[in-house]
Amino acid sequence: MLPNVDLTQTLFEVIDMRSFSNLWFWIMLALIWSAASHRVLGVPFDMVVRARRFGGQSERDLIDMVRININRMLHLGHVAGSWLIGVTTFGLSSLSLLAFWYDIEFAQAVVLILLPLSIVAAMSFATARRIAVERPEVEALCRHLARHRFWVQLLGMVSIFVTAMYGMYQNLSVAPGF
Protein backbone atom coordinates (compact mmCIF):
# COMPACT_ATOMS: atom_id res chain seq x y z
CA MET A 1 0.00 0.00 0.00
CA LEU A 2 1.36 3.43 -1.01
CA PRO A 3 1.38 6.26 1.52
CA ASN A 4 -0.95 9.21 0.97
CA VAL A 5 0.91 11.90 -0.95
CA ASP A 6 -0.29 15.43 -0.47
CA LEU A 7 0.31 17.75 -3.44
CA THR A 8 1.22 20.79 -1.35
CA GLN A 9 3.62 18.77 0.78
CA THR A 10 5.30 17.46 -2.35
CA LEU A 11 5.57 20.96 -3.83
CA PHE A 12 7.10 22.38 -0.65
CA GLU A 13 9.62 19.54 -0.60
CA VAL A 14 10.60 20.04 -4.24
CA ILE A 15 10.57 23.85 -4.21
CA ASP A 16 12.36 25.29 -1.19
CA MET A 17 10.13 28.08 0.07
CA ARG A 18 12.70 29.52 2.45
CA SER A 19 14.04 32.86 1.27
CA PHE A 20 17.79 32.60 1.68
CA SER A 21 18.12 29.19 0.05
CA ASN A 22 15.90 30.13 -2.87
CA LEU A 23 17.64 30.98 -6.14
CA TRP A 24 14.87 33.43 -7.07
CA PHE A 25 15.61 35.56 -3.99
CA TRP A 26 19.24 35.98 -5.03
CA ILE A 27 18.33 36.72 -8.64
CA MET A 28 15.83 39.33 -7.44
CA LEU A 29 18.39 40.87 -5.08
CA ALA A 30 20.91 41.22 -7.92
CA LEU A 31 18.29 42.72 -10.25
CA ILE A 32 17.11 45.22 -7.64
CA TRP A 33 20.62 46.51 -6.98
CA SER A 34 21.48 46.53 -10.65
CA ALA A 35 18.42 48.67 -11.38
CA ALA A 36 19.13 50.94 -8.41
CA SER A 37 22.65 51.67 -9.61
CA HIS A 38 21.72 51.99 -13.28
CA ARG A 39 19.06 54.65 -12.75
CA VAL A 40 20.50 57.61 -10.89
CA LEU A 41 17.67 59.88 -9.74
CA GLY A 42 15.52 58.15 -12.33
CA VAL A 43 17.96 58.94 -15.14
CA PRO A 44 19.65 56.01 -16.91
CA PHE A 45 23.37 56.35 -16.35
CA ASP A 46 24.13 55.76 -20.03
CA MET A 47 22.62 59.22 -20.64
CA VAL A 48 25.26 60.70 -18.33
CA VAL A 49 28.03 58.86 -20.18
CA ARG A 50 26.62 59.93 -23.57
CA ALA A 51 26.34 63.57 -22.42
CA ARG A 52 29.98 63.56 -21.27
CA ARG A 53 31.20 61.89 -24.44
CA PHE A 54 29.18 63.61 -27.18
CA GLY A 55 27.76 66.83 -25.69
CA GLY A 56 25.25 68.83 -27.73
CA GLN A 57 21.79 67.28 -27.83
CA SER A 58 22.83 64.55 -25.38
CA GLU A 59 23.67 67.22 -22.79
CA ARG A 60 20.33 68.96 -23.33
CA ASP A 61 18.49 65.64 -23.03
CA LEU A 62 20.32 64.87 -19.77
CA ILE A 63 19.57 68.31 -18.31
CA ASP A 64 15.88 67.99 -19.25
CA MET A 65 15.59 64.47 -17.85
CA VAL A 66 17.31 65.43 -14.59
CA ARG A 67 15.17 68.56 -14.26
CA ILE A 68 11.94 66.60 -14.80
CA ASN A 69 12.86 63.85 -12.34
CA ILE A 70 14.16 66.25 -9.70
CA ASN A 71 11.01 68.37 -9.93
CA ARG A 72 8.88 65.23 -9.56
CA MET A 73 10.87 64.04 -6.53
CA LEU A 74 10.89 67.42 -4.81
CA HIS A 75 7.17 67.91 -5.46
CA LEU A 76 6.47 64.49 -3.97
CA GLY A 77 8.64 65.33 -0.98
CA HIS A 78 6.90 68.67 -0.52
CA VAL A 79 3.37 67.33 -0.87
CA ALA A 80 3.65 63.98 0.91
CA GLY A 81 7.10 63.93 2.50
CA SER A 82 5.95 63.67 6.12
CA TRP A 83 3.47 60.94 5.28
CA LEU A 84 6.04 59.03 3.26
CA ILE A 85 8.55 59.14 6.09
CA GLY A 86 5.92 58.07 8.61
CA VAL A 87 4.52 55.21 6.54
CA THR A 88 8.00 54.01 5.55
CA THR A 89 9.22 54.13 9.14
CA PHE A 90 6.14 52.30 10.38
CA GLY A 91 6.43 49.68 7.63
CA LEU A 92 10.13 49.06 8.19
CA SER A 93 9.67 48.94 11.97
CA SER A 94 6.81 46.47 11.69
CA LEU A 95 8.71 44.36 9.20
CA SER A 96 11.84 44.42 11.38
CA LEU A 97 9.77 43.31 14.37
CA LEU A 98 8.34 40.40 12.38
CA ALA A 99 11.78 39.57 11.03
CA PHE A 100 13.96 39.63 14.09
CA TRP A 101 11.64 39.37 17.11
CA TYR A 102 9.29 36.74 15.66
CA ASP A 103 12.06 35.18 13.55
CA ILE A 104 10.17 35.07 10.24
CA GLU A 105 12.69 34.38 7.50
CA PHE A 106 10.70 35.94 4.66
CA ALA A 107 10.44 39.20 6.64
CA GLN A 108 14.19 39.07 7.29
CA ALA A 109 14.84 38.79 3.56
CA VAL A 110 12.51 41.70 2.80
CA VAL A 111 14.10 43.88 5.51
CA LEU A 112 17.56 43.16 4.12
CA ILE A 113 16.34 44.46 0.76
CA LEU A 114 14.12 47.38 1.79
CA LEU A 115 16.23 48.93 4.55
CA PRO A 116 19.20 49.75 2.26
CA LEU A 117 16.81 50.83 -0.49
CA SER A 118 15.22 53.31 1.91
CA ILE A 119 18.70 54.72 2.52
CA VAL A 120 19.13 55.03 -1.27
CA ALA A 121 15.82 56.90 -1.43
CA ALA A 122 16.98 59.33 1.27
CA MET A 123 20.30 59.81 -0.56
CA SER A 124 18.39 60.46 -3.79
CA PHE A 125 16.21 63.12 -2.17
CA ALA A 126 19.30 64.80 -0.71
CA THR A 127 21.09 64.76 -4.06
CA ALA A 128 17.98 66.07 -5.84
CA ARG A 129 17.70 68.92 -3.34
CA ARG A 130 21.40 69.76 -3.75
CA ILE A 131 21.15 69.80 -7.55
CA ALA A 132 17.99 71.93 -7.44
CA VAL A 133 19.68 74.50 -5.19
CA GLU A 134 23.05 74.61 -6.96
CA ARG A 135 21.75 74.34 -10.56
CA PRO A 136 25.13 73.07 -11.77
CA GLU A 137 26.45 73.17 -15.31
CA VAL A 138 26.54 69.94 -17.29
CA GLU A 139 29.97 68.76 -16.18
CA ALA A 140 29.23 69.41 -12.50
CA LEU A 141 25.82 67.75 -12.92
CA CYS A 142 27.50 64.66 -14.36
CA ARG A 143 29.91 64.62 -11.39
CA HIS A 144 26.97 64.85 -8.94
CA LEU A 145 25.21 61.96 -10.66
CA ALA A 146 28.40 59.87 -10.87
CA ARG A 147 29.14 60.49 -7.18
CA HIS A 148 25.59 59.52 -6.24
CA ARG A 149 25.87 56.36 -8.35
CA PHE A 150 29.18 55.47 -6.67
CA TRP A 151 27.59 55.69 -3.22
CA VAL A 152 24.55 53.67 -4.34
CA GLN A 153 26.86 50.98 -5.74
CA LEU A 154 28.92 50.94 -2.55
CA LEU A 155 25.79 50.63 -0.43
CA GLY A 156 24.58 47.89 -2.77
CA MET A 157 27.83 45.92 -2.40
CA VAL A 158 27.72 46.20 1.38
CA SER A 159 24.05 45.26 1.39
CA ILE A 160 24.60 42.20 -0.81
CA PHE A 161 27.56 41.15 1.36
CA VAL A 162 25.58 41.50 4.59
CA THR A 163 22.60 39.69 3.06
CA ALA A 164 24.84 36.88 1.80
CA MET A 165 26.51 36.46 5.20
CA TYR A 166 23.19 36.49 7.03
CA GLY A 167 21.67 34.15 4.45
CA MET A 168 24.54 31.68 4.83
CA TYR A 169 24.16 31.83 8.59
CA GLN A 170 20.41 31.14 8.26
CA ASN A 171 20.99 28.25 5.86
CA LEU A 172 23.64 26.71 8.09
CA SER A 173 21.55 27.15 11.23
CA VAL A 174 18.75 24.96 9.85
CA ALA A 175 21.15 22.29 8.62
CA PRO A 176 21.43 19.22 10.82
CA GLY A 177 24.42 19.30 13.14
CA PHE A 178 24.92 23.06 13.25
Q: 38-66 pLDDT, tens per residue?
A: 999 999 999 999 999 998 999 999 999 99
Q: Residue 78 falls within a domain, yes or no?
A: yes
Q: What is the pLDDT of residues 122-165, one digit of tens each?
A: 999 999 999 999 999 999 999 999 999 999 999 999 999 999 99
Of the two residues 34 and 1, the one the predictor is more confident about is 34
DSSP per residue over the chain, as a string? -PPP--HHHHHHHHS---STT-HHHHHHHHHHHHHHHHEETTEEHHHHHHHHHH-THHHHHHHHHHHHHHHHHHHHHHHHHHHHHHHHHHHHHHHHIIIIIS--HHHHHHHHHHHHHHHHHHHHHHHHHHHHHH---HHHHHHHHHHHHHHHHHHHHHHHHHHHHHHHHHHHHHSTT-
Q: Residue 167 falls within a domain, yes or no?
A: yes
Quick one: pLDDT at residue 171?
Answer: 86
d(CA 143, CA 76): 25
Q: Considering its fold, how many domains does the chain have in total?
A: 1
Q: Residue 132 falls within a domain, yes or no?
A: yes
Q: Residue 152 falls within a domain, yes or no?
A: yes
Q: 17 pLDDT exceeds 80? A: no
Of the two residues 140 and 173, the one the predictor is more confident about is 140
- Out of 16-30, 31-45, 77-91, 117-131, pick the least confident: 16-30
CA torsion, ordered 60, 45, 123, 131, to nearest 10 deg: -20
Q: Residue 57 falls within a domain, yes or no?
A: no
**Whole-structure pTM value:** 0.86
pLDDT averaged over every residue in the chain = 91
Model confidence band, residue 67 (pLDDT cutoffs 50, 70, 90): very high
Q: Residue 131 falls within a domain, yes or no?
A: yes
Using a pLDDT cut of 70, give the percent of the chain over it: 90
- The whole-number average pLDDT for the span 78-97 is 96
Full residue range of the structural domain in which residue 66 is found: 62-172
Q: Residue 178 falls within a domain, yes or no?
A: no
Q: 91 pLDDT exceeds 80? A: yes
Long-range CB pairs of 168-176 (<8 Å, 24+ gap) are: 168/20, 170/18, 170/20, 170/105, 170/108, 171/18, 171/20, 171/21, 174/18
d(CA 129, CA 77): 10
